Amino acid sequence: MRVAMITYHRALNYGAVLQAYALQQTIKSLGNSDRDVCKLLDYKCPAIEDMGVLVHWDKRIIKDLIKYIPYSKVMESKKKRFAAFVSNHLDVQKLDNNDLKSINDYFDVFITGSDQLWNYSVCGDDDTYFLNFVEDERKKYSYAVSLGMLKSFEQYEQRIKKNLHGFSCISLRENICGEKLSTLGCAIRADIDPTLLWDTEKWEEEFLLENTEGEYILIYCVAPPRELIEIARKLATQTGLKVVFLTDLIAAKYKYHDFTIKYGQGPEDFLALIKNAQYVLTTSFHGAVFSIKFHKKFYAEIENLNGHNDRISGLLEKLDLAECTDKNFLLAKKEVTPEKWEQVDQAINSLKSDSLNYLRTVLSSEDDNV
């Protein structure tokens, strides 16, 4: 069986490359022989290539640019670390001039996923992630793809439905749009994020997750935080721990003098910082995921300045970890008990089992629909 995957593996985003790694490794682990192949198609989406890292400029001090760490240096460090991760850990199929049609006959199955591949506000005006280059519709599958917010889906609903016509099975990350896609006449299901498919021990075995910061509180945000900074300072006062801020925020060094700022970090650094933290404060879905996998004391801010984070709240509801969205639970120095973590792991394993069975079916269904 020759499998081709397509996703945002070229994005300078921790969750994007780690989910790509986890899904590829999982598919490879399900192979039955040495002849089985799983390749990541090295497609260059213009919108993703141009995106880089979001920079949040503080307008009050933007005129005083001399104070800033040069953005180009931050970006260069991050790009090098991400490129090294892709080179060392992802099995990539190079493409000539971004030509996807030329590899149609080589692969038996094409899987698009995971991430917000069907969200036009992310991928731009690009239908490639709907596998529009695959000639044989029986080869087309998805895994835990997100359509983004419901508002975005409704804006492009007819275009999305047209692009999904002929899929053997549609696997979504969130089932928020599942009912609206039911008219397509194919199986629709929700599956867990690929990072949850790959066991914690395997993450620790594959990557050297060394502690270079001692004892600390970690902040990692992908959306502007509402209260995280204040909570971090209160927690630091209570515990005597330093605060490490993983960010690409150019002004952070000058806005947060009391924090240790970590710029230009790669995917392995991201994992190590979460694994070795005493506390994790985050607005990030994958920040929450790896806090759960490493059984960290963490707080996920689901009501940030961008609005409500349905992805995080949905995951924590499934795992019965609502207390991890309560700042008072954290500041009271309460923590999830070992017994509760055992229940969480069991819940993840149950979700994982269902998703693995789906992938097994895909990999054994070269000629049949799921």
The pLDDT score that the predictor gives to residue 291 is: 99
Residue entry with tokens 């933290």:
277
The pLDDT score that the predictor gives to residue 54 is: 42
Fold type of domain 2-52+90-197+352-363: Rossmann fold (3.40.50)
The pLDDT score that the predictor gives to residue 57 is: 44
Q: Do the two domains 2-52+90-197+352-363 and 201-336 of this chain adopt the same fold? A: yes
CA end-to-end span of the chain: 16
In angstroms, rounded to a whole number, what is the distance separating the alpha carbons of residues 232 and 299? Answer: 10
Cβ-Cβ contacts under 8 Å for 98 (sequence gap 6 or more): 43, 44
Cβ-Cβ contacts under 8 Å for 256 (sequence gap 6 or more): 229, 243, 245
Strand, coil or helix: what is 95?
coil
In angstroms, rounded to a whole number, what is the distance separating the alpha carbons of residues 310 and 325? Answer: 12
Work out the burial of residue 54: count CB atoms within 10 Å of its CB; fewer than 13 is exposed, 13-18 middle, 19 or more buried: exposed
The pLDDT score that the predictor gives to residue 271 is: 99
The pLDDT score that the predictor gives to residue 207 is: 95
> What predicted TM-score, i.e. pTM, was given to this entire model?
0.92
Q: Two tokens at 96?
A: 């000539």
In angstroms, rounded to a whole number, what is the distance separating the alpha carbons of residues 35 and 124? Answer: 36
In angstroms, rounded to a whole number, what is the distance separating the alpha carbons of residues 174 and 155? Answer: 18
Kind and range of the H or E element at 171? Answer: strand 169-172
Q: Two tokens at 132?
A: 């529009």
Number of H helices, E strands in the chain: 14, 14
Pairing of strands 303-304, 307-308: antiparallel
| 166 backbone φψ class: left, alpha, beta (φ>0; ψ -120 to 50) | left
What does the pLDDT profile of the chain (370 residues) look like in tens digits?
999 999 999 999 999 999 999 999 999 999 877 778 999 999 999 999 887 544 444 454 444 454 445 567 778 899 999 999 999 999 999 999 999 999 999 999 999 999 899 999 899 989 999 999 999 989 999 999 988 777 788 889 999 999 998 898 899 988 777 877 888 888 899 999 999 999 999 999 999 899 999 999 999 998 888 899 999 999 999 999 999 999 988 788 888 999 999 999 999 999 999 999 999 999 999 999 999 999 999 999 998 777 788 889 999 999 999 999 999 999 999 999 999 999 999 999 999 999 999 999 999 875 454 5
Q: Two tokens at 58?
A: 């503080």
CB 4 within 8 A of CB 91: no
Residue entry with tokens 């970006």:
75
The DSSP letter of residue 209 is -
- Give domain limits for the chain: 2-52+90-197+352-363, 201-336
CB 369 within 8 A of CB 168: yes
Is 3.40.50.970 the CATH classification of the domain at 201-336? no
